Structure 1
Amino acid sequence: MTSGFCRFDGLDALAEQEEFLPHKSGSKKEIHFTDTSFGMSIFNLSNAIMGSGILGLAFAMSNTGIILLCEILLVFIAILSAYSIHLLLKSAGVVGIRAYEQLGNRAFGHPGKMLAAVIITVHNIGAMSSYLFIVKSELPLVIQAFLGKQENTGEWFLNGNFLIIIVSALIILPLATMKQLGYLGYTSGFSLSCMVFFLISVIYKKFNIPCPLEDEDHHNLSHLSHGHGYINGTDDFCEAKMFTINSQTAYTIPILAFAFVCHPEVLPIYTELRDATKKRMQNVANISILAMFIMYLSELHTTHYCNVESELLHTYSRVDPLDVLVLCVRLAVLVAVTLTVPVVLFPIRRALLQILFPDKPFHWARHIIIAFCLISLVNLLVIFVPSIRDIFGLIGATSAPSLIFILPGIFYIRIVPEEQEPMFSRSKIQAACFAAVGFIFMVMSLSFIIIDWVTGESRSGGGH
């Protein structure tokens, strides 16, 4: 048995070498796509995990409760995300392939390849949309504050739709045309620094914002609408609930799943990792997930739990729109999410290339045109999207469980041969249960969200 495993591992290593380290016989080995350092890989993967999810987690907390969310769900999703990356890397190591779409092809043929590519494309377009939605809603407020305006007076430079087009053309598109994902490690590191500043500011604001919130004229804002319902002015308004269930709880698991999805970026980062091994890439994933878990947990424990909107920064605007610290935080978040968009775009482009041009070599024109078309599409979506909560909910309820739970589980079962893991071995049974959990999460989350939409519309129709 031991010799069989050694032989299999040797074949794995040979397959990976032939796939990713091509070289001519008798000449010096030429290394491709293996020049990104361990630290830069952590920056890129952490940036892919973090994204805009950090702005939605406080909303999830306010509608679920500290015990249910922090002590169970947050830990649960983080551990399962690390485990799913383990399944993904194990499957990739068996067949010597580091492309999500090709794993789907190896597991289920062309339909599997198309399924993986479509899910990655839908999820990452949703993620890019959520990032640009933040730019659309926050950048006008930043400019407005710099100009000392108390309200938006309608000029073109205060129009979020125009601003996202300008940001996309001047910042996102040039970064998205980089040849390799590893080049974005520096911008990812700066993006993470901005989010650390955001976290520190949230902690500071925890102890400097009155609750219930008051506006500049000292009027209580606790009566403001919250989701589909309204919040009363009771003492419970400012307390962190230990356990809460309401109509908005349906968005908790989708938002959490959305906040930990980085799986489309795992294999591209693995491909470019210097001295790449499964263990080394797993360490990159574990450190990234742990770092983001600590950031998420710190934010959730220092948020006004029962007084949070679906986009956290809007909560602070209700106190003082011209607050200097809030203005700096807005600017930092804008920089962070803007620099995250190119990282998220890479897996979409790779998925499209796998579908449309599977055997074509790299070509600059194709590389740039796909980036331009994707950014243009996302800009159009953001202009017509009504709420960032809807993005978090739908994407988190569909593609996120597929990428975290379902696809890694079924790929592992189909790809790892019975010589290494029998069909009813503990590992494959765990993978099957893992995929089943993802399917249950998806069905439950979608059902609750649809029910919330229907009841919300009925309440609106009833004049509430």
Structure 2
Amino acid sequence: MMEFPAQTEMVNMCLSGKQAEALGTETPEPSFTGAENQELEEFLPHAPGKEKPRFTDFEGKTSFGMSVFNLSNAIMGSGILGLAYAMANTGILLFLFLLTGVALLSTYSIHLLLISSGIVGIRAYEQLGYKAFGTPGKLAAAIAITLQNIGAMSSYLYIVKSELPLVIQTFLNLNEKTSDWYMNGNYLVIMVSACVILPLALMKQLGYLGYASGFSLSCMLFFLCSVIYKKFQIPCPVPWSNMNYTMADNMTLLTAGLTYQNGQSHEAEIESTECSPKMFTINSQTAYTIPIMAFAFVCHPEVLPIYTELKDATKKKMQRVSNISIAVMYCMYFLAALFGYLTFHGHVESELLHTYSYVDPFDILILCVRVAVLTAVTLTVPIVLFPVRRAIHHMLFQNKEFSWVRHTLIAILLLTLINLLVIFAPNILGIFGIIGATSAPCLIFIFPAIFYIRIMPKDREPMKSTPKILAACFAGLGVLFMIMSLSFIIIDWTTGSSKSSGSH
């Protein structure tokens, strides 16, 4: 998902007293003065004699349609690449049921956030935590958002590690990967991080944010259209071009009980086994399904800043924006998962785009999709890194003046940590699973519910009132989901049954 929590902090820090009063918000703390304000300046030049544009210049002027686009863009992200794998391990009907449930629960949690923000007049996730539980609440929200963003950046860089060697292989017209360094994904992800992402991450403010956001959403739409098109172009059984994959595929068929007689296979039996979609299935990989879905639907830190920018903003109008955005993403997610699964059935990998390389490594359409997705995720990493660095600054260096040395070191340390995670992670499934089972349930289920229970005055809604009981059950569901998902994932790791993306 392409999350951009930078807006959350920027809204709060840029609001002046009068603007905050007009919005019905409190002036946030801490305020930035002196050299720290340099971080809020854009790197794009502005015309002499004109006031520098600020984030709040457009506050309250964003149309309903553009707000839907912004929130849809905040929801959409790398999670869409893992949904076909989730469907392969649940079946179509169970997947549809779970996806619908997560989408509806996300809508309800946004409803709780909007009510809470309306009561206290605060439109920032961390500040709601501060209002509800003081500094511990603010730190908990900031840590959850930070972990979510680190997971998002790791998933983006894992896509670079996985897909960039295939792009180079196609351009060089190589029939198979070589041992040369420029075909090693670990080396390539380090080079991209050092040469492209780090210079962009060192900007004081990412002025290309809007352009990169729109481009990223366009790339994912292109990806979806390509997945649908390839479903009707690739026959079933899939004609694997990679011999190792074909041998593994044949072994799977043999162990499934398919027999060969007189050198001739039962082609009809093979086809019915390979090409029959499953409606319902459960296996060791099913544990990753809900975490992948939760990871794909996290957009809650961006809801309140978008609410602030909405023209003629009301709680009802913002709820409509959220409902439409989630509905649009729900349809895109289901279509991407369905057509990806119907193309490869049980052989789809945890990163769908990688699976196409085993059919035709030189497919021009898939090459274009890869280049587009790689460009989008590379440009998005510094955008997501920006609020993580600011959160670290708030937690550890709150009263310090702006320092280029500290600004640079934090970016380098974050990128180093993320690169290590990407290099040593066996597949992208682990990233989706862990982040989707930890920070995602906190941001979607637990925090909105407990903030609502704490902030809503008892004289308006007693603790035994139906809305608060529902919110408490909602928070309990999040805790239960977190415990169960983590337990199943740890069991899967210890038994060594997890499939490695790209291992065929």
What range is the shorter-chain TM-score in? 0.7 to 0.9
**Letter in structure 1 aligned against 2:293:** L
Question: Which residue of structure 1 aligns with residue 363 of structure 2?
Answer: 323
User: In structure 2, what residue type is equivalent to 1:310?
Assistant: S
Q: Label 1:106 to 1:329 Cα distance change in 2 as closer, same or farther (>3 A).
A: same
What CA distance in whole angstroms lies between the structure 2 residues aligned with 1:338 and 1:282? 32
Distance verdict in 2 for CA 1:363–1:15, change over 3 Å? farther
Alignment of 1:385-400 (within 5 A): 385-400=425-440
> RMSD between aligned alpha carbons?
3.4
The question of 1:149 aligning with 2:206 is answered no
**Partner in structure 1 of residue 214 of structure 2:** 189
Q: 1:113 to 1:458 in 2, by over 3 A?
A: closer
- Do the aligned residues in 2 keep the contact of 1:51 with 1:340 (CA within 8 Å)? no
Deviation at 1:134, TM superposition (A): 0.6
Equivalents in 2 of 1:161, 1:16: separation in Å?
A: 49
Q: Which runs of 5+ in 2 are unaligned?
A: 1-19, 32-52, 259-269, 500-504
How many angstroms does 1:372 deviate by? 4.2
Encode CA deviations 1:335-392: one digit per residue, 9 max, x unaligned. 2322332343344234323323446687777666544442332123212222111111
Q: What displacement does 1:442 show?
A: 1.1
Secondary structure of the residue that 1:19 maps to in structure 2?
coil
1:429 maps to 2:462: no
Q: Distance in 1 between matches of 2:462 and 2:390?
A: 33
1:60 aligns with 2:86: yes
What is the aligned counterpart of 1:248 among 259, 276, 285? 285
1:264 aligns with 2:304: no
Aligned equivalent of 1:294, options 331, 340, 347: 331
Give the number of equivalent residue pairs.
Answer: 439
| Paired letter, 1:87 | L
What is the deviation of 1:324?
1.3
Distance (Å, rounded) in 1 between the aligned partners of 2:403 and 2:67: 24
Question: In the alignment, is residue 212 of structure 1 matched against residue 220 of structure 2?
Answer: no
Q: Which amino acid aligns with 1:195?
A: M
- Mark the CA change 1:161 to 1:217 in structure 2 (over 3 Å): closer, same or farther: closer
Match of 1:95? Answer: 120
Question: Structure 1: how far apart are the matches of 2:356 and 2:89?
Answer: 18
Q: Which residue of 1 aligns with 2:273?
A: 236
Question: In structure 2, how many angstroms separate the alpha carbons of the residues matched to 1:357 and 1:100?
Answer: 20
Q: 1:270 Cα shift?
A: 4.4
1:342 pairs with 2:382 = yes
Shift of 1:179: 5.7
Counterpart of 2:76 in structure 1 is 50
> Cα gap change, 1:458/1:434 in structure 2, threshold over 3 Å: closer, same or farther?
closer
Cα distance change of structure 1 residues 18 and 202 upon mapping to structure 2, 3 Å threshold: same
Match of 2:105 in 1: 80
Task: Provide the C-alpha distance between the structure 2 equivalents of 1:378 and 1:225, rounded to a whole number of angstroms.
Answer: 37
Distance 1:327 1:453, change over 3 A: same
Note the C-alpha offset of 1:321. 1.1
Name which of 426, 432, 443 aligns with 1:403. 443
SS in 2 for 1:125: helix
Q: 1:175 to 1:264 in 2, by over 3 A?
A: farther
Q: Deviations over 1:32-55 (max 9, x none)?
A: 635263456544433332211111
Q: How far off its partner does 1:232 sit?
A: 7.3
* Cross-structure match for 1:374: 414
SS class of match (1:421): coil
Distance (Å, rounded) in 1 between the aligned partners of 2:360 and 2:230: 12
Q: Which residue of 2 aligns with 1:5?
A: none
Structure 2 counterpart of 1:88, one-letter code: L
Match in the other structure for 1:25: none
Q: 1:97 to 1:446 in 2, by over 3 A?
A: same
Change in Cα spacing, 1:281 to 1:193, as seen in structure 2 (3 Å) is same
Residue 77 of structure 1 and its aligned partner are, at CA, apart by 0.7
1:105–1:111 CA contact under 8 A, matched in 2: yes
- For 1:217 and 1:257, the matched residues in 2 are separated by 33
Separation in structure 2 between the aligned mates of residue 249 and residue 315 of structure 1, nearest angstrom: 19
Cα 1:434/1:232, change in 2 over 3 Å: farther
**Residues 217 and 62 from structure 1, CA distance in 2 versus in 1: closer, same or farther, beyond 3 angstroms?**
closer
- Whichever residue aligns with residue 249 of structure 1, its letter is T
CA contact (8 A) 2:25 2:122 kept: no
Equivalent AA in structure 1 for residue 230 of structure 2: K
Q: Sort the Cα spacing of 1:92 and 1:392 in 2 relative to 1 into closer, same or farther, 3 A.
A: same
Counterpart amino acid of residue 131 in structure 2: R
CA positional deviation for 1:318:
1.1
Distance 1:165 1:345 in 2: 16
Q: Would the alpha carbon gap of residues 350 and 439 (structure 1) be closer, same or farther in structure 2, given more than 3 Å must change?
A: same
Residue 226 of structure 1 and its aligned partner are, at CA, apart by 11
Distance 1:32 1:396, change over 3 A: closer
Aligned equivalent of 2:11: none
Matched position secondary structure for 1:423: coil
Which whole-Å CA distance do the structure 2 matches of 1:147 and 1:184 have between them?
33
Check 1:427–1:183 CA distance in 2 against 1; reply closer, same or farther (3 A cut): farther
Distance in 1 separating the partners of 2:394 and 2:320 = 27
Aligned 8 A contact 2:76 2:297 in 1 = yes
Aligned amino acid, residue 197 of structure 1:
F
State the 1:219 CA deviation.
Answer: 9.4
Secondary structure, aligned partner of 1:221? helix
Deviation (angstroms), 1:410: 0.6
- In structure 1, what is the Cα distance between the partners aligned to 2:66 and 2:404? 24
Contact 1:34 1:275 in 2 (8 A): no
Report the AA paired with residue 360 of structure 2: D
CA distance in 1 between counterparts of 2:189 and 2:250 reads: 27
Match in the other structure for 2:27: 19
Deviation at 1:236, TM superposition (A): 2.6
Equivalent position SS for 1:33: helix
Indicate conservation of the 8 Å contact 1:265/1:344, yes or no.
Answer: no
User: 2:183 corresponds to which residue?
Assistant: 158
Q: Which amino acid aligns with 1:35?
A: F
After superposition, the Cα gap between the structure-2 partners of 1:17 and 1:449, relative to the gap in structure 1 and judged at 3 Å, is: closer
> Partner of 1:35 in structure 2?
58
